[in-house]
């Protein structure tokens, strides 16, 4: 049985076809243009694939409340044409199969819980530190929603004492995303993160902000695993620095051996690597199919 998966991003849509065990058999990448054109190309990819269901993990903010008239829409975005666009319906109606829908980061959290670093656990949080910063929350074996959905990328952070950078968030300036996203790194240091050497002072500052977000997630949600993904986390030296800062910051208060003794296995990269979002979308498709049968 084949399931379709779409990781709908602001820069690119990654579409894939996979099986119930989370294996992606075929994929394609479509640059994000205007909605009709982009969706046209997505549908073209799935046309001859005979998928039984489709899952979409989308950039946002999006409406994930099934009883809302705007369910399945992208709500507000500066991306031309996408504000208010009914992405879920456009795809579900054209393909005529059950469709699952959630944020890209919630999808990634689900993918990791099903097949990745949090496999077999009841909860995890997934952070993406990329063009934006986002958090997906899997709690008590399901994805967390609420009034809208978690927006942990925009939590306030305590400034690093050596950091005079104003921040890049158009809403808050120096929130987590404003201080720690890929574009924040690039603006603060004058070149993209990928070009900054491992020993650069940028990384201690970056770890300081990420660690605060991780501590907040631990204190608020008590996850069984914290997964850090996204382009910036390709800088693997950040992991030991974040773990160290989290341990120091919590200062023994949360008395779990996972944190006190095994933090290397607690704050980890995605087990599915850069496929967390796509596999998560596949899992959303599977869930949609299970709900209908």
Contact between 11 and ligand ADP per CB under 6 A: yes
235 contact choice in ligand ADP, Zn ion, none (CB below 5 to 8 Å, kind-dependent):
ligand ADP
Contact between 159 and Zn ion per CB under 5 A: no
Query: Which of 21, 96, 171, 251 lies at the binding interface for Zn ion (CB under 5 A)?
Result: 171
172 contact choice in ligand ADP, Zn ion, none (CB below 5 to 8 Å, kind-dependent):
Zn ion
- In SS3 terms, the chain reads as CCEEEEEECCCEEEEEEECCCCCEEEEEEEECCCHHHHHHHHHHHHCCCCCCCEEEEECCCECCCCCCCCCCCECCCCCCCCCCCCHHHHHHHHHCCCEEEEEHHHHHHHHHHHHCCCCCCCCEEEEEECCCEEEEEEECCEECCCCCCCCHHHCECCCCCCCCCCCCECCCECEHHHHHCHHHHHHHHCCCHHHCCCCCCHHHHHHHHHHHHHHHHHHHHCCCCEEEECHHHHCCCHHHHHHHHHHHHHCCCCCCHHHHCCHHHHEECCCCHHHHHHHHHHHHHHHHHHHHC
CB 194, min distance to Zn ion, A: 23
Taking CB under 6 A as the rule, which mask of x and - marks residues 169-208 in contact with ligand ADP? -------------xx--x-----xxx--------------
145 contact choice in Zn ion, ligand ADP, none (CB below 5 to 8 Å, kind-dependent):
none
Contact between 154 and Zn ion per CB under 5 A: yes
Q: CA of 280: how far to CAs of 93, 112, 256, 262, 286, in Å?
A: 21, 7, 28, 26, 10
Contact between 157 and Zn ion per CB under 5 A: no
Query: Which of 151, 234, 237, 258 lies at the binding interface for ligand ADP (CB under 6 A)?
Result: 234
Which residue, 18 or 132, is less far from ligand ADP as judged by CB?
Answer: 132
CB 61, min distance to Zn ion, A: 12
For 69, counting Cβ atoms within 10 Å of its Cβ (0-12 exposed, 13-18 middle, 19+ buried), the class is exposed
Which residue, 103 or 123, is less far from Zn ion as judged by CB?
Answer: 103
Taking CB under 6 A as the rule, which mask of x and - marks residues 15-54 in contact with ligand ADP? ----------------------------------------
| Range in contact with Zn ion (rule: CB under 5 A) among 154-162, 231-239, 248-256, 268-276 | 154-162
Taking CB under 6 A as the rule, which mask of x and - marks residues 88-107 in contact with ligand ADP? --------------------
Query: Which of 111, 235, 270, 286 lies at the binding interface for ligand ADP (CB under 6 A)?
Result: 235
CB 181, min distance to ligand ADP, A: 7
**Cross-sheet strand order for the sheet of 142-143:** 142-143, 133-139, 124-129, 226-229, 267-268
Binding site for ligand ADP (CB under 6 A): 9, 11, 128, 130-132, 182-183, 186, 192-194, 230-232, 234-235
Binding site for Zn ion (CB under 5 A): 154, 169, 171-172, 175, 177
């Amino acid at each position: 049985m084949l399931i379709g998966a779409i990781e709908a991003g602001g820069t690119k849509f990654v579409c894939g076809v996979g099986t119930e065990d989370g294996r992606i058999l075929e994929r394609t990448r479509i640059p994000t243009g205007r909605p009709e054109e982009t969706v046209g190309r997505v549908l073209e990819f799935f046309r001859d694939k005979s998928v039984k269901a489709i899952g979409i993990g989308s950039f946002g903010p999006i409406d994930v409340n099934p009883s809302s008239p705007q369910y399945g829409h992208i709500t507000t975005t500066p991306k031309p044409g996408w504000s208010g666009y009914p992405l879920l319906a456009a795809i579900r109606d054209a393909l005529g199969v059950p469709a699952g829908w959630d944020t890209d980061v919630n999808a990634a959290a689900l993918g990791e819980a099903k097949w990745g670093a949090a496999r077999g656990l009841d909860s995890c949080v997934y952070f993406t530190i990329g063009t934006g910063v986002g958090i997906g929350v899997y709690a008590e074996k399901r994805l967390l929603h609420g009034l809208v959905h978690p927006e942990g990328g925009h939590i306030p952070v305590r400034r690093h004492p050596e950091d005079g950078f104003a921040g890049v968030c158009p809403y808050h300036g120096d929130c987590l995303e404003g201080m720690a996203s890929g574009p924040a790194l690039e603006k603060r240091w004058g070149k993209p993160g990928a070009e900054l050497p491992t020993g650069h002072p940028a990384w201690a500052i970056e770890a300081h902000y990420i660690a605060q977000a991780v501590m907040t997630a631990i204190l608020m949600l008590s996850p069984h695993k914290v997964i850090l993904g996204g382009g910036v986390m390709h800088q693997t030296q950040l992991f030991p620095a974040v773990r160290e800062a989290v341990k120091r910051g919590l200062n023994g208060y949360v008395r779990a051996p996972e944190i006190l003794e095994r933090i290397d296995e607690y704050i980890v990269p995605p087990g599915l690597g850069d496929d967390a979002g796509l596999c998560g979308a596949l899992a959303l498709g599977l869930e949609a199919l299970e709900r209908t049968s």
